[in-house]
Amino acid sequence: MPNSDPNDFDVIVIGAGHAGCEAALAAARLGRRVALVTLSAEHIAHLPCNPSIGGIGKGQLVREIDALGGAMGCVADQTALQIKKLNHSKGPAVQALRAQVDKIYYPRAMRAIIEAAPGLELIIGEAAEVTTRQGVVSGVILNGSRRLTAAAVVLTAGTFLRGSLTIGPKTWPGGRMGEIAAAPLAASLQALGLETGRFQTATPPRVRRDSVDFTAVRAEPGSAEPLHFSFISGPSQPLQLPCHLTHTTPETHDVIRRNIMASPIKSGAVGAHGPRNCPSIDRKVINFPEKESHPVFIEPESLESAELYLQGLTTAMPEPLQEAIIRTVPGLEKAIITRPGYAVSYDYLPPCQLGPDLQAKTVPGLFAAGQVNGTTGYEEAAAQGLLAGLNAARWTAGEPPITIGRDQAYIGVMVDDLVTQGVAEPYRVYTSRAEFRLLLRSDNADQRLTPLAIELGLADATRRQRFASRQAAIKVLEQTLAATKLRPSASLNARLAEHGGGPITQGASLAELLRRPGISLADLSGWTPVLDAFEDDVKVTATVDIKYAGYVKREVARVARHQRQEGKPIPADLDYHQLRGISFEARERLTLVRPLSLGQASRVSGVSPADVSILMVHLERIDAKHGA
Amino acid sequence: MRYNKRMQGQSKGKANNDIIAAIATAQGAGGIGIVRLSGNGCIAVADAVFTAQDAQSLNSRPGYTLAYGHVGRPGEATVVDEALATVMRAPHSYTKEDVVELNVHGGPTSLRRTLNLVLESGARIAEPGEFTRRAFLSGRVDLAQAEAVLDVIEARTKRAGDVAVRQLTGALSQQVEKIAAALAELLVDLDAAVDFSDEDLDLACREAVMTSVDRVAESVDTILAGAAEGEVVRAGVRLAIIGRPNVGKSSLLNALLRRDRAIVTPVPGTTRDVLEETIAIDGVAFILVDTAGIRHTDDDVESKGVARSRRSLAEADMVALVVDAAAGVTAEDVALLGEARVLPTIVIGNKSDLLSESPDRPDLNDEEVDYISVSAKTGEEIDTLEKLFLSRALGGRVLATDEVLVSNARHADALRRAKAAVARARAALSDGLSEEFAASEIRTALSCVGEITGRDVSADILDRIFGRFCIGK
């Protein structure tokens, strides 16, 4: 039904970063009329920090976003300058892709997708206020005058809520370097009763390519094999521009130590918590005084730019000191800084205020995703954005929310962590956050999530076909492995002996051989051509199914236990203050988080095992009462 | 979760905060006995039956105070007993409710009359373990400790009581927590190796990790080694005494009972015609199940008797087959032995007093089975027989007095599953598999030991990684 009113939408998304783009696209894919409001069209899907997508844990997230019909994987594939498989020597569950992407082409490619999406309207302006009617979201006021109406608003404001930037002693308002902060919006959210916290993050200085001495640093090439994030991207060979590795020196640390009082983290200019996974060089030198050197990766930013990113040299020291610091790093002695490193402090919404559908518990119709929820990372933001956009779309149609379990996806692990435990520092995904890590792999992200995407309407025809053909290929490969037998031969037995295995004396199936420790499909492909026809991802999935069947089975058994706990619902109106015996802290936290299940309750911070067992007894009693 | 179920069962239909009372000290004449009351309002109930010498009511006293006075029927001058009353105010008590303990003279009459007065004044009699249930529900003790309390209540012998008390004081939890901490420490290394492989970290090498895994496996083994014995100590051993008629089963039972040992509970068989008697051998309870009452008068009764004997056998942990050493072993004895051998069995050659010289081991058609020659009549070798019972029940181990025993089947089962998972982690590492496989098994082991203490350490792992390593490029 075409809507003629240019100010009336189903869903309004505030902010066009990685979270906002996926949120708007997901809602539009479900047929909703969507407004994507951004301060600047030039900064859609901007990469203000590291010019890379993926990484360990994050790479799995990108695959999950893709499996759910999201755009990040495809855009990263299209704009990669280099792509690499991390944890190459580890098992399939922890291998992950990371791409250096072109900082100029990535936003352009995303903008093209946004502008081509039916039902999605890009609006340049400042969202100043979220409006409500009887406590329920009713729309957004733009620039203080234009009123947009919608039943759902997705807040993806990144670092813009009361953002302030710091370099050395100077601090000024701003959401990112050169961009204004969103002050009225922050006030509007507070007026809606939402609580805010304060986080900070920082970025390193950039230098000019022609000022770097590449003879003094080590080249770090991408992987030789063709790699891609998206299940629907064809095989492609990215440019594979190298990154370069150098290290800080004792002199670097000397400069920092002598001038540490000028660092914003010491001077007090930046008081908020920053991400532990990505500390500034100042902090690394303070916290690990015994280390004489830290790695610095020099990364290309774009084919159209001569700027290089100095991963590992994050700092918001005064500019002359930033220069003094890089002078001490081999290869950067004469480097020219094109833009200084800086810190940004911003308001975030402590995510315990959200339900597992990313909807604010006290403001129906308001959803939030990304850095505004206290996370860090483009991938974390995009994954939340997709879930928030999906649920905002469903909310406008009165459909029940979709939640993703910890046993289903890293998205589920992350969202559960956020809304159950809250955040003490900017949250990043790690594989060790997942208790079912062997099941949440890059290779099987589509098996885990694409059926859901198809059911919900997030998967287009290409994806559905691709999914079906990939599943069929896995099946064929598994049958082939069981049916194809290798005859004993001197060369095969010599190869088996290399891996410490005994010789075969009669024909053995590929599956049998694959189960031996140390034997991979690649080892076997030299003895039979039948494996050549299958794609890498298909081989990985089949290998896990056969070679690691025992481990997978035991993890599946743990999932069953997990689901029993998750399956014990807690009444929404349970009054924790009426429950005797539960500790004061647990009572407060449970009242705040309002877990939906006993399993979720057990993960709320401040809730002890004793509290959980008491809660369990109370729930049984409630059951008994209702049963009687 | 036997105890948990029981507690839930009790809780249904019962108010959770009314006033309960019970005699809190052991039955029998002692120096001092205690009647304990718990629940909001229990101080007023105590005031109704207790009059302090200083005429000050208990209700007007602060917590942790002791009042001297007497117990008597409200409104009457007759004194039942002199008493000391202890007032503990919520939440500073075992149940976290108001609690009063009335210390009176320990004779059963005095205690019972005091309790009756309290009950007449508004308290109700506490169910077994109800104080502990309240302590558990108030968050005062965890589940493992609550289970231990029930074990204390049910303890048949002093040693079983000691084991349960040690568990109550958290000795087992402490050891299990140590194992959990060691497992969590292992996960730090395993997880860091996969999550931060591209960082410049000083990770433990695989050999070192495997050594740590071995060390954890050993500590699980150490605790588990006492598990079977712990169960024996907690639950006791059902020992079926079987044999043909007239071989001296009853006199053997009497010989075992006549001795100067605590006869804990003579429990007459309620549903069957067998007599159970409990004796304690070095602190371990043996429930002697005598099938002697069965007589064979005709075929029908005999078949019923055999059925009963078989039933006793099926429920027994151990069998003592009595044969007549003087008359010699018969084919029927050998057949009975064959049937008994599914359980640990000891063959007792009775009536050694009738033999002129020291008896030889008769041919039992079974070289392995323990055989001992005794005289129930003279008591000869009965001491040795008891030691043999104990040694077979404990699998040859000698109990140290201060040992932490896993006395609970649920705990033992969780530890066994943890042990198997640790062994699989070790295998994954020595097979050269990537760390996440071993980590998956270690997580399984952690969740197993977490079942005992209820603690989940998984959230700590990242904190530990960040505490130890310099992360971030």
Please list the helix, strand and coil fractions of chain A in percent, rounded to the nearest 5, in that order. Answer: 40, 20, 40
Preceding omega of B91 cis (within 30 degrees of 0): yes
> Best-predicted range by mean pLDDT among A79-93, A486-500, B360-374?
A79-93
For the stretch A550-559, pLDDT in tens is 999 999 988 8
Count how many domains chain A has.
4
Report long-range pairs for A375-378 (Cβ below 8 Å, ≥24 apart): A375/A414, A375/A418, A375/A423, A375/A426, A375/A427, A375/A428, A376/A201, A376/A275, A376/A277, A376/A278, A376/A426, A376/A427, A376/A428, A377/A58, A377/A428, A377/A429, A378/A17, A378/A18, A378/A47, A378/A53, A378/A72
User: Do A260 and A233 have their domain in common?
Assistant: yes
What number is the average pLDDT over the span A534-543?
Answer: 91
Task: Specify if A282 maps to a domain.
Answer: yes
Q: Which of A509, A531, A556 is a domain's end point?
A: A556
User: Do A45 and A178 have their domain in common?
Assistant: yes
Task: Specify if A71 maps to a domain.
Answer: no
Query: CATH no. for residue A158?
Result: 3.50.50.60
**Parallel, antiparallel, or unpaired: how do β-strands B345-350 and B370-373 relate?**
parallel
Q: For domain B5-142, give the CATH number.
A: 3.30.1360.120
| Residue A59 near residue A442, CB atoms below 8 Å | yes
pLDDT at residue B408, rounded to an integer: 65
Region of poorest pLDDT, from A60-74, A92-106, A387-401, B81-95: B81-95
Nearest chain A residue to B1, by CA = A613
User: Do A509 and A604 have their domain in common?
Assistant: no
Residues in A touching B198 (Cβ below 8 Å): 56, 86
pLDDT at residue B343, rounded to an integer: 84
* Residue from B12, B16, B189, B194 to probe the interface with A (highest A Cβ count within 10 Å): B194
User: Do A284 and A389 have their domain in common?
Assistant: no
Nearest chain B residue to A204, by CA = B473
For the stretch B348-383, pLDDT in tens is 998 888 877 767 788 888 888 889 999 888 888 888
User: Do A305 and A397 have their domain in common?
Assistant: no
| Residue A337 near residue A319, CB atoms below 8 Å | yes
Confidence of residue B296 (pLDDT cuts 50, 70, 90): very low
| Cα A180 to Cα A163: distance, rounded to the nearest angstrom | 8
Residues 6+ apart with CB under 8 A from A134: none
Single out the residue of A34, A193, A48 nearest to residue A107, CA to CA: A48
Residues 6+ apart with CB under 8 A from A557: none
What number is the average pLDDT over the span B125-150?
Answer: 69
| Cα A168 to Cα A270: distance, rounded to the nearest angstrom | 10
Confidence of residue A538 (pLDDT cuts 50, 70, 90): very high
The distance of A121 to chain B (nearest Cα, Å) reads 39
* Residue whose token pair is 């101080």: B43
User: Do A504 and A583 have their domain in common?
Assistant: no
| Cα A492 to Cα A515: distance, rounded to the nearest angstrom | 15
| Cα A419 to Cα A427: distance, rounded to the nearest angstrom | 12
User: Do A540 and A479 have their domain in common?
Assistant: yes
Fold of B233-393: Rossmann fold (3.40.50)
Single out the residue of B369, B336, B333, B376 nearest to residue B352, CA to CA: B376
**Largest alpha-carbon pair distance within chain B?**
91
Query: CATH no. for residue A297?
Result: 2.40.30.260
CATH architecture of B152-226+405-453: Up-down Bundle (1.20)
Contact A580 B17 (CB under 8 A): yes
| Cα B234 to Cα A597: distance, rounded to the nearest angstrom | 36
Query: CATH no. for residue A598?
Result: 1.10.150.570
Q: What are phi and psi of A300, to 5 degrees?
A: -70, 140
What number is the average pLDDT over the span A76-90?
Answer: 93
Nearest chain A residue to B448, by CA = A558
Q: What ipTM was assigned to the predicted interfaces of this complex?
A: 0.87
Task: Specify if A6 maps to a domain.
Answer: no
Residues in B touching A610 (Cβ below 8 Å): 139, 141-143, 454
For the stretch A4-31, pLDDT in tens is 799 999 999 999 999 999 999 999 999 9
Instruction: Kindly give the residue spans of alpha helices, DSSP state H, lying in A484-595.
Output: 490-498, 510-514, 521-525, 536-547, 549-566, 584-593
Confidence of residue B461 (pLDDT cuts 50, 70, 90): very low
Helix B206-225 with B227-235: angle, nearest 10 deg: 20
User: Do A15 and A113 have their domain in common?
Assistant: yes
How do the domains of chain B map onto residue ranges?
Answer: 5-142, 152-226+405-453, 233-393
**Domain range for A267:** 206-342
Please classify residue B171 by burial: count the beta carbons closer than 10 Å to its beta carbon, then call 0-12 exposed, 13-18 middle and 19+ buried. middle
User: Do A314 and A337 have their domain in common?
Assistant: yes
Q: Position B163: which residue type? A: V
Task: Specify if A75 maps to a domain.
Answer: no
User: Do A231 and A282 have their domain in common?
Assistant: yes
Element (H, E) at B371: strand B370-373
Give the other-Cβ count within 10 Å of B157's Cβ.
Answer: 22
Is a pLDDT exceeding 90 seen at residue A526? Answer: no
What percentage of chain A has pLDDT greater than the value 90? 73
Task: Specify if A84 maps to a domain.
Answer: no
What percentage of chain A has pLDDT greater than the value 70? 96
Q: Does A105 touch chain B (CB under 8 A)?
A: no
Residues in B touching A441 (Cβ below 8 Å): none
Q: Does A295 touch chain B (CB under 8 A)?
A: yes
Residues 6+ apart with CB under 8 A from B413: none
User: Do A195 and A212 have their domain in common?
Assistant: no
Element (H, E) at B225: helix B206-225
Contact B436 A276 (CB under 8 A): no
Contact A311 B443 (CB under 8 A): no
Q: What's the gap between Cα B92 and its chain centre? A: 28
pLDDT at residue B405, rounded to an integer: 59
Task: Specify if A67 maps to a domain.
Answer: no
User: Do A388 and A499 have their domain in common?
Assistant: no
The distance of B451 to chain A (nearest Cα, Å) reads 10
Instruction: Kindly give the residue spans of alpha helices, DSSP state H, lying in A336-396.
Output: 378-396
Element (H, E) at B155: none
pLDDT at residue B106, rounded to an integer: 67
Q: Which of A556, A584, A611 is a domain's end point?
A: A556
Task: Specify if A589 maps to a domain.
Answer: yes
What number is the average pLDDT over the span B445-460?
Answer: 64
Task: Specify if A517 maps to a domain.
Answer: yes
Nearest chain B residue to A581, by CA = B138
Q: Does A590 touch chain B (CB under 8 A)?
A: no
What does pTM read for this prediction? 0.77
The distance of A31 to chain B (nearest Cα, Å) reads 39
